[in-house]
Structure 1
């Protein structure tokens, strides 16, 4: 009987010790955790506090019933030892509880709890100063686009920086404030800060491709040391137009930031995807120059247009968009501008001795969208696609340099052989009346009289010969190259002598960005008619 009581007492003591150890471990774990420490501490303290009383009552009861003499004394000493151990564990837990309460109090009065982490804010990077005249011997690194948490890809919208310079007053000897020279501010563009008196090379990525194959488009920036307007130059919106690329390259790499008043932003190749394939279109066969200012939730072309327009164009004060003719056509160096807008007309006047053709611009083209945003813009046309033509490139460079000189940005006065060129407020395209092989009898820039022969179209099968004549007196400002023609193909573009009073926006033949005619939409089966966003530009227009 005594042995049985001894065994039972030992088991009870072990249970007590285990309970105390569990309670102590729970208190330690509570000290390491931050979440709900008070509730867990109260539970642990309650468990430990109850342990000594339970152990003491159970040990005394068992000892009084089954223990006698010496065995009873031994069991009593063990019970007292177990009770003391439990009491020590209780005091340890109470101390832990007090420390946790103090820690919770400090956390309440301090910063936010660890689980409420503040989202990191993106900081502007200071653009590295790069001498654009230095030759790059290694390929440029391709930055990976930032990962997005939503399915919709939003373009990077950067807050614009006003062009108004900071003027700090100075105190004269008489104590009167006298304004000092204006101070140029840094330019914020594409999440970068470009300091005054520096030049750099930034990257714009539309983020509409696979992350692993996305290609950044180079954006060249020259931030002048002195304040002035921000002039933007864009080229290769159509990927097969090369002359404008060389114009932008030559200008941006020849400007010294210390001599520049204002900023010049140049994008040599806007449509990089089309340029890589020697195509004027995007990979989905859409014309990028029909989707400006774009839509962040629209088609791929519309998203690219929106990203470029908001990320780059919205920071411009003036825009010159460089183009060439399209589809085996060539253009006399000329400006296309909406001359009914005074700010645009003033911009065109500063571009030197170059033909100016009045045109509002096709809906969705970059020039028109920019003007509608309140930024004066013109299109500079020169030459033909798929070719680098030195004469056209030189004319474009001189025209932009004349503009910068007229704006007071640079002290460059190019020499023009011709003092001035005419302004054509009206123009007309002459179309082929039959199919065959075209051989032109006139050249770009020729002045023709009404009824004068422009070219001959010969049918190679029947040998039938049809002449193409000028319907009105004018000047050849655009023409098709010698090639196979089909009936209705736009062959010659004539600039007509007229005044601004003769312009009627509601009459006359509308033209594309290159001055080519826009036909009315073809009659399509309503059952299969696509939306306007999906309609191919080749259906809406003769060419572009």
Structure 2
């Protein structure tokens, strides 16, 4: 462990119990100028773990950026014990272009742990990984759905890693998904390097949604409380859904979709999810739930072609289980409010007989 009284972070000495805004140089521009990402180092008075909290690893996913900024807006906020490395925008090049990707169209979230002599993306990943991940004990990475989609807030982690599962449960989202993540993904490679990391998904690109922001800010505070970095107990829902299997229900025909469910809805096998019809409303086909489940993501673009993803379902064990989940979702103020807010971005209609 570094000396606690004064530590050096990103080239600056930061005393215990203080915070400092600094920057990390990640690459150079075409003109040879340094390109940096802003970071706030927040240090507790007492020793403890170091946790990084990152947003906009995909440069157009801004709910995490909004959540981190909301926490930083309070000058009194921070850990009593340990350090927080707050990074509102990790992919600054994508952020500047309102793009998920880097200028060379590479996905930074497939380039970790990086390569010091590789492509621009892998070089950036190497700098970020060495300077942030390898200096941290735990990580929280905040995301949204991809373009033209929305996600009901959920946490993703490797259930086989008990430290990750502990963080995911403590975060306090209503839905937790099992999975390591793809090769080269930030959270997978960070966890493999000894820094247990979770991913949080919620909402859409290009916006900061209040209900998603509230879920994310509460979740970050919950994790810090769970790690004894802040005083108090995590604020958890009465029930959390632990999902091991998910499936995208895809369009069978081209046309215009009338949605019958919204993010966070619970469904039973055979229940209508969406109806696909022509532009003059001649019915083509109806998409039905392949199993009992919960809607964890969906398209916000009603026009589809064959094979395009429409509804992302997490599998539940039975219709009884679906009713149980719905009951507890509606009983939790944050989940109910989030579900109501996200549903306003999608036109939901009753299926026609």
Tell me the TM-score range normalised by the shorter chain: 0.7 to 0.9
Deviations 1:168-196 (A, max 9, x none): xxxxxxxxxxxxxxxx3433322222221
Residue 241 of structure 1 corresponds to 61
Shift of 1:206: 1.2
Question: Aligned to 2:247, which of 428, 431, 436?
Answer: 428
- Partner of 1:337 in structure 2? 157
CA–CA distance in 2 between the matches of 1:376 and 1:468? 38
Counterpart residue number, 1:190: 10
User: Once the 2 structures are TM-superposed, how far is the Cα of residue 312 of structure 1 from its aligned partner?
Assistant: 1.5
Q: Which has the higher contact order (CA 8 A, sep 6+)?
A: 2
Structure 1 CA distance, aligned partners of 2:306 and 2:78?
A: 56
Where 2:240 maps in the other structure, the secondary structure is coil
Question: Which one of 228, 250, 273 corresponds to residue 454 of structure 1?
Answer: 273
Counterpart CA distance in 2 for 1:283 and 1:327 is: 17
Instruction: Output the TM-score relative to the length of structure 2.
Output: 0.85
Deviations 1:282-301 (CA, angstroms, capped at 9, x unpaired): 11111111101110111111
- Contact 2:226/2:234, CA 8 A, preserved across alignment: no
The answer on 1:384 being equivalent to 2:199 is no
The alignment of Structure 1 onto Structure 2 pairs a total of residues equal to 317
After TM superposition, give the deviation of residue 209 of structure 1 in Å: 2.1
1:282 to 2:102 alignment: yes
- Give, in whole Å, the separation in 2 of the partners of 1:206 and 1:316: 18
**Residue matched to 1:468:** 287
Q: CA 1:413–1:253 in 2, change beyond 3 Å: closer, same or farther?
A: farther
Partner of 1:410: 230
CA distance 1:214–1:483, change in 2 (3 Å) = farther
Which of these residues, 271, 290, 298, is aligned with residue 118 of structure 2? 298
- Check the 8 A contact 2:110/2:185 in 1, yes or no: yes
TM-score (normalised: structure 1): 0.56
Q: Is residue 481 of structure 1 aligned with residue 263 of structure 2?
A: no
Q: Deviations over 1:43-72 (max 9, x none)?
A: xxxxxxxxxxxxxxxxxxxxxxxxxxxxxx
The alignment status of 1:441 with 2:257, answered yes or no, reads no
How far apart, CA to CA, are the structure 2 residues paired with 1:211 and 1:311?
A: 24
Structure that is richer in strand per residue: 2
Asked if the contact 2:223/2:234 (under 8 Å) is kept, the reply is no
Check the 8 A contact 1:428/1:495 in 2, yes or no: yes
Identify the residue that residue 71 of structure 2 maps to in structure 1.
Answer: 251
Matches of 1:442 and 1:258 in 2, distance apart?
39
Query: Which segments of 5 or more consecutive residues in structure 2 lack a partner in the other structure?
Result: 318-353
Deviation at 1:494, TM superposition (A): 1.0
- State the Cα deviation string for residues 250-283 of structure 1 (Å, max 9, x = none): 2234363786211110110111111111110111
DSSP-derived class of the 1:392 partner? helix
Shift of 1:488: 1.1
Residues 408 and 462 (structure 1), Cα distance of their counterparts in 2 relative to 1, 3 Å cut: closer
| SS in structure 1 at match of 2:115 | coil
2:348 aligns with none
* TM-superposition CA deviations, 1:281-340 (whole Å, max 9, x none): 111111111101110111111111111111122111100000000021111111000011
Aligned counterpart in structure 1 of residue 92 of structure 2, from 262, 267, 272: 272
Question: Where does residue 228 of structure 1 map in the other structure?
Answer: 48
Cα distance in 2, alignment partners of residues 355 and 255 from structure 1: 31
More helix by share: 1
Give the aligned partner of residue 359 of structure 1: 179
Measure, in 2, the Cα distance between the counterparts of 1:442 and 1:390.
21
